[in-house]
A and B are shown apart, each in its own frame.
Chain A
Amino acid sequence: MKFVDEFRDPELITKAAEEIRRLADPNRHYRLMEVCGGHTHAIYRFGLKDILPSNIELIHGPGCPVCVLPMGRIDDALSLAMDPDVIFAAFGDMMRVPGTHGSPLEHKARGMDVRIVYSPSDAIKLARMNPQKHVMFFAIGFETTAPSTALTLQRAKAEGVHNFSVFCNHVTIIPAIRAILDSPDMRLDGFIGPGHVSTVIGCRPYEWIAANEHKPIVVCGFEPLDLLQSIVMILAQLQKGEAKVENQYKRVVPWEGNHAALKAMAATFQLRPYFEWRGLGFISQSALRIRDEYAEWDSEQRFHVPGIRVTDPKAAQCGEVLKGVLKPAQCKLFGKECTPENPVGALMVSSEGSCAAYYNYEHRKANLVTSLSSPA
């Protein structure tokens, strides 16, 4: 098994699509939210909307860590990296995210030492290779990525790598889901639950959604069959009037989560009392900061951080699109002032952002005949 192609089998996809049609009540309009940016991307990439019946609406959730990062945090990090002895290291997705004075990439064009890394371990390697400089790793991501940063911090301490620090922007998914459910504009029937976050936190943290909010939530994988099967499972629950947590992504997600990962996170991080989320405002206990035992490797404790707060341009409606209240195309700037080439907000930069996904995959297809056949 290769665990990819099997979950893209066209016959099984057809079967799943038929089952969805069978289960969906034609008199009902279903609003299902996929929380995770990776799911948003997969839905567009595999054209799954074309396969679903029109009474199933997929609402994009805020599970894109690049999208929810306020511009001020990028400005803060870039201001620290202005020092010529500092190397700014981050994942590729961060490179084109606009700060007030340009993206990291634009800062690089103006002479800042900006490097892409594919793993936090790469950042420590950079630090070892550049003993005269300080490597500041811009850490971002939900609980999927936080454990890797945690292990990296532990290693930096254990191995005595002192020219390295982490600018930590890790956030947690449950408060984001809570904020969505608390939002008066939201009416949802169920959730396609985060897949990779759940490999770390497991499925238990979602139980309150089923118990208190009475909404089904199915932890879902990222291949087309995973998404379709999860929708089948949600519809089956709704049909029976059930609301429970189910694990569709069983081949990868353990119900209890990853103990070693959670342990590493607990040893290196603690919850910030509150943190600002783009579009969702300040949410308490929703983000991680580095523990005092690792203060030396915490960019915010080692350096003076300006604490810049920047409000989004008034015309940009990133917040509403993030919450799923608006579709990307409904934002006034979409496709005009804000395009993947000239992004105004992070939802257009990150390939998981709903605006980028919609633009790249849907936007110009809008007037097309939807059935296109392959050659014999």
Chain B
Amino acid sequence: MKGEIKIGSPAPKIRFREPQIEMAHGAGGKASRRLVEGLFAPLLFGASTEPLADAAHLKINGARMAVTTDSFVVKPLVFPGGSIGELAINGTVNDLAVSGARPEAIVVTFILESGLPTEILQREVQAMANAAQYAGVRIAGGDTKVVEHGKADGMYITTTGLGTPLTGVEINPQSVRPGDKVLLSGPIGDHGITILLARGELDMEGDLESDTRSVFPLVEAVVAAAGAGIRWMRDPTRGGVATSLNELARDCGLGVVLFEDNLPVHDAVRGACELLGLDPLHIANEGQFLTVVAPDLVDAALSALHSMPGGGDARIIGEVRDEPAGSVLVTTRYGGSRIVDMLVGDPLPRIC
């Protein structure tokens, strides 16, 4: 007989009260969190009180493995610096990497729109093969469904990844302490703004491309140099750095203070954000990661990043403090400061 529901076990508390799903629920910010914590978690994750992470580290019959899944909904499918296929591989590789695991294998699901030219599908599958090879992961299988014309923006891709946890590092937001430093691997906002421009709806162009890449080599280097001091890592995709760090602040109950002048942002991203009234801290990235490192090991971590190809722009962007507990504060060099919240709403839909 299939698993029984035990009589008398407490009914899960659904805290999600909104009558319908809106775009904001998929944006990665506050609304997304409400949906996950208020509806999915009570029904699916049972009594687990662990904070939600990029990947789950499981122990199954003595073997430890990391597993994660992600869907890719991007318009346009191809953009400067990459395409949906690359995002689909790199995104899942990165989720595994920042959970402290070596990416090993991926399975893929395609939802394809009827009428999609084969040439386009082939190009994306080739892009995925290339990205997988580059990242050192096997593609172990998959599934395909086709839906009516008009229902899938060309194609949606879901990738589920498996990895082996790295030794020498233990990701745990509870281990974060005041004085720990926040490291960022490189410039923020490139991906989200590139997508926005690639849609061609704005009379704007710039010299920008998506930063999509596997961050595993960088993560591996940082773990090797400073693993014992790494408290937390995350890849700031939808919702940007601000959302990731707000999640951290909430999970560890401490404050994160960022130094605005230390934030690496390309001029073109700055310009686009000024023109559109956006904050680079809220823009999605597809090739960067954040890590919180103990102060005695942060220099080693930073040097390790600087010595790797693609790690030259890594910076210490802030530090953990007691206050403002649960929030993220950005300070400027002339003493001004402002609280930066998680993303509200969905300013950039179909970004990744």
- Give which listed residue, A364, A369, A371, A375, contacts B335 with CB less than 8 A: A371
A10 to B331, CA, bound (A): 13
Do A50 and B335 form a contact, CB below 8 Å, given A109-B23, A365-B329, A375-B259? yes
Q: Are B345 and A365 in contact (CB under 8 A)?
A: no
Do A365 and B339 form a contact, CB below 8 Å, given A10-B334, A372-B331, A374-B333? yes
Q: Are A10 and B202 in contact (CB under 8 A)?
A: no
Interface size on B, residues (CB 8 A): 30
Q: Mark B329-352, 1 if CB is under 8 A from A, else 0.
A: 101111111110100110000000
Q: Mark B21-33, 1 if CB is under 8 A from A, else 0.
A: 0110000001100
Q: Are A51 and B336 in contact (CB under 8 A)?
A: yes
Residues of A within 8 A of B344 (CB): 340-341
- Give which listed residue, B30, B277, B335, contacts A92 with CB less than 8 A: B277
Residues of A within 8 A of B202 (CB): 118
Q: Mark A140-164, 1 if CB is under 8 A from B, else 0.
A: 0000000000000000000000000
A369 to B277, CA, bound (A): 29
Does B73 have its Cβ within 8 Å of any Cβ on chain A? no
* Stretch of A40-48, A187-195, A270-278 on the interface side: A40-48
Residues of B within 8 A of A109 (CB): 20, 22-23
Q: Mark A270-292, 1 if CB is under 8 A from B, else 0.
A: 00000000000000000000000
- Give which listed residue, A50, A92, A340, A368, contacts B336 with CB less than 8 A: A50
Do A368 and B331 form a contact, CB below 8 Å, given A51-B336, A92-B277, A361-B338? no
A106 to B338, CA, bound (A): 29
Nearest chain B CB to A373 CB, angstrom units: 8
A299 to B337, CA, bound (A): 44
Q: Are A48 and B277 in contact (CB under 8 A)?
A: no
Q: Mark A331-372, 1 if CB is under 8 A from B, else 0.
A: 000000000110000000001000000001111110111011
A341 to B324, CA, bound (A): 21
Does B214 have its Cβ within 8 Å of any Cβ on chain A? no
Give the residues from 195 to 222 in chain B that come closer than 8 angstroms, CB to CB, to chain A.
202-203
Give the residues from 226 to 269 in chain B that come closer than 8 angstroms, CB to CB, to chain A.
257, 259, 261
- Give which listed residue, A51, A361, A374, contacts B339 with CB less than 8 A: A361
Residues of B within 8 A of A14 (CB): 334
Q: Are A360 and B339 in contact (CB under 8 A)?
A: yes
Residues of A within 8 A of B316 (CB): 375
Residues of A within 8 A of B324 (CB): 364-365, 368
Tally of A-B residue pairs with Cβ under 8 A? 77
Interface size on A, residues (CB 8 A): 35
- Give which listed residue, A46, A351, A367, A374, contacts B259 with CB less than 8 A: A374
Q: Are A365 and B334 in contact (CB under 8 A)?
A: no
Q: Mark A107-119, 1 if CB is under 8 A from B, else 0.
A: 0010000000011
Residues of B within 8 A of A372 (CB): 257, 329, 331, 337
A294 to B259, CA, bound (A): 52
Do A351 and B277 form a contact, CB below 8 Å, given A46-B336, A365-B339? yes
Residues of B within 8 A of A369 (CB): 323
A357 to B, closest residue via Cβ = B338
A106 to B324, CA, bound (A): 33
Nearest chain B CB to A177 CB, angstrom units: 25
Does A224 have its Cβ within 8 Å of any Cβ on chain B? yes
A106 to B19, CA, bound (A): 12
Do A374 and B331 form a contact, CB below 8 Å, given A46-B336, A364-B339? yes
- Give which listed residue, B22, B327, B333, B345, contacts A10 with CB less than 8 A: B333
Q: Which of A48, A224, A361 has the most CB of B within 10 A?
A: A361
A51 to B, closest residue via Cβ = B335
Residues of B within 8 A of A122 (CB): 203
Residues of A within 8 A of B336 (CB): 45-48, 50-51, 224
Does B319 have its Cβ within 8 Å of any Cβ on chain A? yes
Nearest chain B CB to A119 CB, angstrom units: 8
Do A374 and B22 form a contact, CB below 8 Å, given A50-B336, A92-B277? no
Give the residues from 294 to 352 in chain B that come closer than 8 angstroms, CB to CB, to chain A.
316, 319, 323-324, 327, 329, 331-339, 341, 344-345
Q: Are A51 and B329 in contact (CB under 8 A)?
A: no
Q: Which of B202, B323, B333, B334 has the most CB of A within 10 A?
A: B334
9 A–B contacts, CB within 8 A, in A order:
A92-B276, A96-B345, A109-B23, A118-B202, A224-B336, A360-B339, A361-B338, A361-B339, A363-B339
Give me the 9 closest cross-chain CB pairs, A-B, nearest first. A47-B336, A361-B338, A10-B334, A13-B334, A46-B336, A374-B259, A10-B333, A364-B339, A372-B331
Known: A50-B337, A96-B345. 6 other contacts (CB 8 A): A48-B336, A109-B23, A340-B344, A341-B30, A360-B339, A367-B323
